[in-house]
Amino acid sequence: MIIAIANDHGGTELKQYLLQVLRGQDAIQIIDFGIGDHQSVDYPEYARKVCRAVLDGEANRGILICGTGLGMSMAANRFPGIRAALCHDEFTARLSRQHNDANILVLGGRVTGAPVAEAIVQVWLANAFEGGRHQRRISMMDP
């Protein structure tokens, strides 16, 4: 699976932590769109990079991280075809895949601690979309 990932200055530490975890997994390739430092940047620009990679088929899924996760999720969900889920726990991470077919996971680097975020990511990556009635519902979002 190819994962596009990006963050703003509110998500740098958490992104670096998650990169270490994900790069240790053989089945995962990462496309990192930055940022790698703490310069102040505009989260919509980084949301766009990951959304484009997913929509263009360059990546299978995306991960976005800002301080709260709110700005990244708002920006990402402006793109038709993107279903970005801001998750704070494993339950919503699992359901965002099974019921919503979320193609982008959003995390808040100033909200969610690294070990919890790691667990959220693993659950999110491991779970598949269930289709059926859920397919009808997500199709209604992008008619």
Marked catalytic residue, from 9, 88, 99, 134: 99
Cα–Cα distance measured from residue 101 to residue 131, given in angstroms and rounded to the nearest whole number: 8
Q: Per the residue annotation, which of 9, 66, 87, 134 is the catalytic one?
A: 66
Selected binder of ligand RB5 within 47, 51, 62, 67 (CB under 6 A): 67
Amino acid at residue number 57: G
Residue 43 binds to ligand RB5 (criterion: CB under 6 A): yes
Only one of the segments 26-34, 47-55, 64-72, 121-129 lies at the binding site for ligand RB5 (rule: CB under 6 A); that segment is 64-72
Q: How far apart are CA 77 and CA 73, in angstroms?
A: 6
Residue 66 makes contact with ligand RB5 by CB under 6 A:
yes
Q: How far is the CB of 113 from ligand RB5 (least distance, A)?
A: 16
Q: Helix, strand or coil for residue 73?
A: helix
Three-state DSSP state, 4: strand
Q: What are phi and psi of 33, to 5 degrees?
A: -95, 10
Strand order of the sheet with strand 2-7? 29-32, 2-7, 61-66, 104-108, 84-86
Closer Cβ to ligand RB5, 10 or 62, answer by number: 10
The three-state secondary structure class of 108 is strand
Residues binding ligand RB5: number (CB under 6 A): 8
- Closest distance to ligand RB5 from the beta carbon of 2 (Å): 25
Residue 87 is among the residues annotated as catalytic for this protein:
no
Closest to ligand RB5 by CB, 102 vs 107, is: 107
Residue 112 to residue 135: CA distance in whole angstroms: 30
Give the binding site for ligand RB5 (CB under 6 A). Answer: 8, 10, 43, 66-68, 70-71
Q: Looking at the annotation, which residues are catalytic?
A: 66, 99
